[in-house]
A and B are shown apart, each in its own frame.
Chain A
Amino acid sequence: MKRLTLKAEGAGRLVPPAILAACAFVLPPLLGAAGAAFLLTQLTMAAYYVLASLGLCALMGYAGQISLGQAGFFAIGGYASAFLCTRDLGPAASAPLARCLDLAGLLVRGADPYGKALLSLAPWLSGLLAVLLAAAVAALIGTPVLRLKGHYLAMATLGFGIVVEKVARGSKALGGADGISAVPGLALWPGLEVTGGRAARSANFTIAWLVLALGILALANLVRSRPGRALRALREGEEAALAMGIDTARYKLNVFVIAAVFAAVAGVLLTHYNGSIGPGEASSTRSVRYVAIVAVGGMDNLVGTLAAGLVLNFLSLRGVFGNYDDAVFGAILILIMLLSPEGKAARAFHSLLPRGKGAPR
């Protein structure tokens, strides 16, 4: 009976986050002892990319709303934080707003790569603002776009991702094709900073994997909750969901914003970790990569997405796929669809298509 209760309450959902949290602390000394501590860098980066895929898993796998623009939100987070915390407020230091921010301790003094003194927004604040911006953009474009279904929603979100990439690539303020570099570390806590470099490598691996653990825990909680059930219900038929009192438009928008926030948090943290961001992070091939990982993971499967994401991103970051990196993810998507025509992925993809005429059920 005890077991039954535990199962009913979904205690199993605690296992993946617990494993991730344990790895966060155990892997650095272990890999260090094995002389492979250099792998921590790619494992850290992989964790942030997986975070963006997990958000997409909630949106696409559970709520059945496809998005080919997830990289756009990742880039909005990364770019906005990088932009805000590398602006020199020095010339405007005497302006009332800047003085207020300074007095409140929200500005930091640093130096640009050429040694010029900089007065800029604290990265934790720029990161927070960047995530809020991504959420606001998601709410703004989600409201009209989520009325679309299936192919149409896919195309609209693809268009959004292209807009973000081309704006980043074309904008001088955002560094054009070079992107933004010399992005300072993001202090989460005094002495605990999201930043690159060997000295911070272990700590940053721990940070990244703990963030990932919290992310998957939040989503695992969500899919087992009342709103999560409502999302799964609307995936399988909006008419019935509406008849049961579910405000489908609001639920779709909420999960769209949550997915965007996951991508933006990942974008912010990875940008401060790498110290830079470029327009490639917003590209549609990136978005396809996030989709491919969710598909490999089994669509409505957070743990599958986690595992697929960690493995594939790690291999990709290690350069295993060489020049064929993006091609590999495209091929994976094709294979998933072909090899399991009656399988889970294909069935789930069918459920994304508009119902009615000829749509497989």
Chain B
Amino acid sequence: MSLLEVSGLSRSFGGLKAVDDVGFAAEADRITAVIGPNGAGKSTLFNLISGGLAPDSGRVSFDGSDITRLPPHRVARLGISRTFQAIKISKRMTALENVMIGRHVRSRSGFPSGMLAAPWARAEERSIRDAAMRAIERLGIAEYRDRQAGGLPFGVQRSVELARALAAEPRLLLLDEPASGLNARETRVLAELILGIRGMGIAILVVEHDMSLVMDVSDDVVVLNFGKKIAQGRPREIQSNREVIKIYLGEDDA
């Protein structure tokens, strides 16, 4: 049994089948990439898995339990973390505070203990801070920790968002176009990072445009076109798949 299993997933918007009967699996210690041209349904697929969107039909199961119609905050609590294609961090909070939000699912203190600054809530707060600092250091952005996130360079903002997702210690990490807006050097650093995260025993599902990143890091590639899965396999197999080359890389490359 795989950690994440998607089967027969479909979702239409009006007459458009954004995701059409898609099925695949993602495993721990593996990087699964979803690729496809613009409008292929990649982001919709992501939102169906993370709970932001309910499917018309099909099933998503995580660690054996059905999460198909769970709201996003419940999905997150089960151990699924994500980043967004357009960075979604709290611009008016510091980098460290942003990453501390990632610890929300790993901590418990609520309003009463927060208002009273109860000793155990403050102890928990310290452990939240420590864990967030570890995530920040892992991403190499410790020097920015007390800066307002909104004023940070774009690449650093991406790292803050990724650190926040990692701070939750997820079992499955969903990365929505993590390389978009990064230059070649930053993309290489990101690739190293993603491989490092895989080494921590986390399953990674990545939607990506940047083919070099996908081919460098993925263990498994799922290709979508017009909402349908048209191919799945190892990067090398995908690179030589005639249909994929035709629809994705363009016929001239064939």
Listed in ascending order, the chain A residues whose CB lies under 8 Å from chain B are: 8-9, 218-219, 221-222, 224-230, 232-233, 235-237, 239-248, 254, 258, 300, 351
Contact = CB atoms under 8 A, between A and B. Distances in A.
Contacts of A240: 84, 88-90
B159 interface: no
A241 B125 CA distance: 18
Contacts of B77: 245
Chief secondary structure at chain A's binding surface: helix
A219 B88 contact: no
Given A229-B100, A242-B71, A218 B115 contact: yes
A26 to B, nearest CB: 25
Nearest to A300: B92
B242 interface: no
A225 B117 contact: yes
Interface string B64-108: 000000011100110001101000111111000100111011011
A221 B117 contact: yes
B105 to A, nearest CB: 4
Contacts of B97: 229, 232
Chief secondary structure at chain B's binding surface: helix
A360 B89 CA distance: 17
Given A226-B124, A240-B89, A247 B111 contact: no
Contact of B76 (A219, A226, A244, A351): A244
Contacts of A230: 101, 104
Nearest to A230: B104
B69 to A, nearest CB: 15
Contacts of B101: 229-230, 233, 241, 244, 246
B114 interface: yes
Given A237-B90, A243-B50, A244-B164, A227 B111 contact: yes
Interface residues of B, number: 41
Contacts of A219: 115
A246 B73 contact: yes
B121 interface: yes
A235 B88 CA distance: 12
Contacts of A247: 73
A342 to B, nearest CB: 14
Nearest to A225: B114
Given A226-B104, A229-B100, A230-B104, A242 B73 contact: yes
B197 to A, nearest CB: 17
Interface string B190-226: 0000000000000000000000000000000000000
Nearest to A251: B111
Given A229-B100, A244-B105, A245-B77, A8 B90 contact: no
B102 to A, nearest CB: 6
B73 A233 contact: no
B237 to A, nearest CB: 32
Scoring B81, B104, B129 by chain A CB atoms within 10 A of each residue's CB, the highest score goes to B104
B125 A226 contact: yes
A245 B114 contact: no
Given A9-B122, A233-B90, A236-B92, A222 B111 contact: yes
B133 to A, nearest CB: 10
A227 B105 CA distance: 12
Interface in B143-180: 164, 168
A242 B76 contact: yes
Given A244-B105, A245-B76, A222 B90 contact: no
A239 B82 CA distance: 11
B47 to A, nearest CB: 10
A243 to B, nearest CB: 5
A9 B114 CA distance: 13
Contact of A248 (B73, B92, B109, B121): B73
Nearest to A13: B117
B117 A244 contact: no
A6 to B, nearest CB: 13
A195 to B, nearest CB: 28
Contacts of B50: 243
B37 interface: no
Contacts of B105: 244-245
